[in-house]
A and B are shown apart, each in its own frame.
Chain A
Amino acid sequence: EKLAARKKRKKEREALGDKAPPKAVPKTIENQRVYDETTVDPNDEEVAFDEATDEFAPYFNRQTVPKILITTSDRPRGRTVRFCEQLSTVIPNSHVYYRRGLALKRIIPQCIARDFTDLIVINEDRKIPNGLVLSHLPDGPTAHFRMSSVRLRKEIKRKGKEPTEHIPEVILNNFTTRLGHSVGRMFASLFPHDPQFIGRQVATFHNQRDYIFFRFHRYIFKSEKKVGIQELGPRFTLKLRSLQKGTFDSKFGEYEWIHKRREMDMNRRKFHL
């Protein structure tokens, strides 16, 4: 029945030729997205002031250089260890340390004393990484993500080489709401400010339907408009579970945003990031 209707419409369109009405845009979930009132308006001065003076202001004013500590939960297993090493090649100026029975709350003052700006903790479950805690160190916000679909370098089908030491460019896509802006700025503050275009490397954080996809590519401009890309580096997807104001403190922390499944997932067309 539907096929018949579609064929009829196609015939009408061909018959009308130039005067045919434009094709109807199909409805997708992104098209039908419920308008979020927290969407950031670029001209809004209060939000601009808020962002200019929040915890990332020293980074965006180029006063601090990011220095990142990557660690895991206790006793990491094979895949997680390799994932951490690959992640540290992707993010410049990062160090991997292993934890054997050290509490996070005690590590944090030591990190602040040694001038680290960010802390990444990769949580592991049954030998695969499944969670990420990203904490901006001098009392900055802490974001807790669920990580899925992790692909290590040798599992990605390509023929490229290893990523070099050049500082990559950063692309942040589709972080429109106020919460999305905060998370986007957290990701941006991981990478140093001046990307080295000689390296032709780019790290992309793409947000779609509240899932953040991370990809790392090397690009070549074949001509004015054609670009060839080669995927290198690990890839993973993240979903934000909570954003805590202040450093990681699970017992007494104050949360800026928590994902509450029963309340927030009721509408299929409403997204928060």
Chain B
Amino acid sequence: MAAPGGYHVWVGAETGALKGVNLRKKQATNFGVLNRGGGVCALCWGGPDQSELLVASLDRSVKLFSTEKGKFTDSWQCPGGDGPFCGIATHDSAIITCVESGLIRVWRQDGTEPLELEAGGGLCRMRQDPVNQQRLGTGGKENALKVWDLERPREPVFRAKNVRNDWLDLRVPIWDRDLQFLSSGKIVTCTAHRQIRVYDPASPQRRPVMEAMFGEAPLTALALPPGETSVVVGSAHGDIAVIDLRKGRVLRCLKGVSGGVRALQCHPLRPLLASCGLDRCLRLHHLGQGHLLHKVYLKSRLTSLLLSTHQDWETEEEEPPPPLEVKEEDEDALWDAMETVATAGNRPKKRKSSGL
């Protein structure tokens, strides 16, 4: 499903522009009108074929963007609740939106009343389980992790419990900034108090199964690399690290980011990590070796990103060689015509061109 121009990464910025970035040519194109009031809050794919994007903005509008046509095709207003969007997802051609005050709404296409869920105030993130699309997870400031099932909107399926009081017998504050669903059913969250926690809804224990601390800055973004034995976290100081989930140790630090990280995403097949943040740059790191592959300066502060997994990086590379081969054949024909006239000088040249 190649988009026109082959955009590998879609990034949303605070100025309201949706940017498509082509990593081969290191270029970015802006889509959408620049509007500070309509800054992008969340992005998600419109469906598994990744041909459409849903863009949720600060002015409470959700726009549908088609990657093939290269423009916004539809837009809806999603009022209700207070605060900016903190999560957007799709399920069965219905859009699920979540705002900071805790109101989750499922908007259906046929215009019936949206299904509503109250998840508590101060939410920071809502995500959908990629395996079981009916389950949603929510977390926020003083709002512990809750897993909701859309069939039962009254009560959460799993409600996490805070850890025990620390060594001074003080209550540990909660501030879940980002969460991700693992394929085994467990949930990983990262908090602004520098903790990374793993919860298991299947076990009777409501407290986190594993907890690890990292860094001195609040952790703002979380991503899952393929393999699921580790997580990648990004902090407000620009430290990105790969942390092992079994022991809680730091495996690798990815350097180069100088501002707070807002969004991270890993490629499901290749060892790639895309990161974007307040330093106005999109960076692609190699997960296994940790070096920087691509860095693109995009002129506004970035808030969210989506990696296009259908885009094949290899197919792009084959395009430049074909024109060269065509030229080689023309040259061969030219030399063939001339060979009868002058033999000695042409032989080495012809050998060289045919070798290529």
Whole-angstrom distance between the Cβ of A241 and the nearest chain B Cβ: 12
Q: Mark B288-299, 1 if CB is under 8 A from A, else 0.
A: 000000000101
**Interchain CB contact under 8 A, A50 and B15:** yes
- Select the stretch in B108-116, B124-132, B251-259 that faces chain A: B251-259
**Interchain CB contact under 8 A, B297 and A255:** no
A-B pairs with CB below 8 Å: how many? 60
**Interchain CB contact under 8 A, A256 and B301:** yes
Q: Mark B177-193, 1 if CB is under 8 A from A, else 0.
A: 00000000000000010
**Residues in A neighbouring B15, C-beta threshold 8 A:** 46, 49-50, 53
**Interchain CB contact under 8 A, A47 and B299:** yes
**Interchain CB contact under 8 A, B260 and A46:** no
**Interchain CB contact under 8 A, B220 and A46:** no
Contact of B300 with A by CB under 8 A: yes
**Interchain CB contact under 8 A, B280 and A253:** no
For chain B, residues 293 to 330, give those with C-beta under 8 angstroms from any C-beta of chain A.
297, 299-301
Contact of B231 with A by CB under 8 A: no
**Residues in B neighbouring A245, C-beta threshold 8 A:** 260, 278, 301
**Residues in A neighbouring B220, C-beta threshold 8 A:** 254
**Residues in A neighbouring B299, C-beta threshold 8 A:** 44, 46-47, 50, 178
**Interchain CB contact under 8 A, B258 and A254:** no
Whole-angstrom distance between the Cβ of A2 and the nearest chain B Cβ: 40
For chain A, residues 58 to 82, give those with C-beta under 8 angstroms from any C-beta of chain B.
none
| Contact A257/B34 with A37-B297, A44-B299 known, Cβ cut-off 8 Å | no
Contact of A264 with B by CB under 8 A: yes
Contact of A164 with B by CB under 8 A: no
Contact of A38 with B by CB under 8 A: yes
Q: Kindly state the interface size class of chain A when it binds its partner.
A: 20 to 34
Contact of A104 with B by CB under 8 A: no
Whole-angstrom distance between the Cβ of B284 and the nearest chain A Cβ: 15
Q: Which of A37, A46, A245, A253 has the most CB of B within 10 A?
A: A46
**Please, which residue of chain B has its CB at the minimum distance from the CB of A53?**
B36
**Interchain CB contact under 8 A, A255 and B259:** yes
Contact of B238 with A by CB under 8 A: yes
Whole-angstrom distance between the Cβ of B22 and the nearest chain A Cβ: 16
Q: Mark A251-262, 1 if CB is under 8 A from B, else 0.
A: 111111110100
**Cross-chain contact of B238 among A37, A50, A255 (Cβ < 8 A):** A255
**Interchain CB contact under 8 A, B300 and A50:** yes
Query: How many B residues have CB within 8 A of the partner chain?
Result: 24
**Cross-chain contact of B258 among A44, A251, A264 (Cβ < 8 A):** A264
**Cross-chain contact of B236 among A37, A38, A253, A263 (Cβ < 8 A):** A253
- The docked-state distance in angstroms from the alpha carbon of A264 to that of B238 is 13
**Please, which residue of chain B has its CB at the minimum distance from the CB of A245?**
B278
- The docked-state distance in angstroms from the alpha carbon of A253 to that of B220 is 11
| Contact A255/B236 with A47-B299, A178-B299, A264-B258 known, Cβ cut-off 8 Å | yes
- The docked-state distance in angstroms from the alpha carbon of A50 to that of B278 is 13
- The docked-state distance in angstroms from the alpha carbon of A252 to that of B220 is 10
**Interchain CB contact under 8 A, B36 and A260:** no
**Interchain CB contact under 8 A, B34 and A49:** yes
Q: Mark B135-151, 1 if CB is under 8 A from A, else 0.
A: 00000000000000000
Whole-angstrom distance between the Cβ of B87 and the nearest chain A Cβ: 19
Q: Mark B6-50, 1 if CB is under 8 A from A, else 0.
A: 000000000101000000000000100010100000000000000
**Interchain CB contact under 8 A, B36 and A254:** no
**Residues in B neighbouring A264, C-beta threshold 8 A:** 258
Whole-angstrom distance between the Cβ of B240 and the nearest chain A Cβ: 12
Whole-angstrom distance between the Cβ of B24 and the nearest chain A Cβ: 17
**Interchain CB contact under 8 A, B30 and A46:** yes
Q: Mark A102-138, 1 if CB is under 8 A from B, else 0.
A: 0000000000000000000000000000000000000
Chain A positions within 8 Å of B, measured between CB atoms, are 37-38, 44-47, 49-50, 53, 178, 245, 251-258, 260, 263-264
Chain B positions within 8 Å of A, measured between CB atoms, are 15, 17, 30, 34, 36, 192, 217-218, 220, 236-238, 255-256, 258-260, 278-280, 297, 299-301
For this complex, 17 residue pairs linking A to B, each with C-beta atoms less than 8 Å apart, are A44-B299, A45-B34, A53-B36, A251-B218, A252-B218, A254-B218, A254-B220, A255-B236, A255-B238, A256-B278, A257-B279, A258-B258, A260-B238, A260-B258, A263-B255, A263-B256, A264-B258
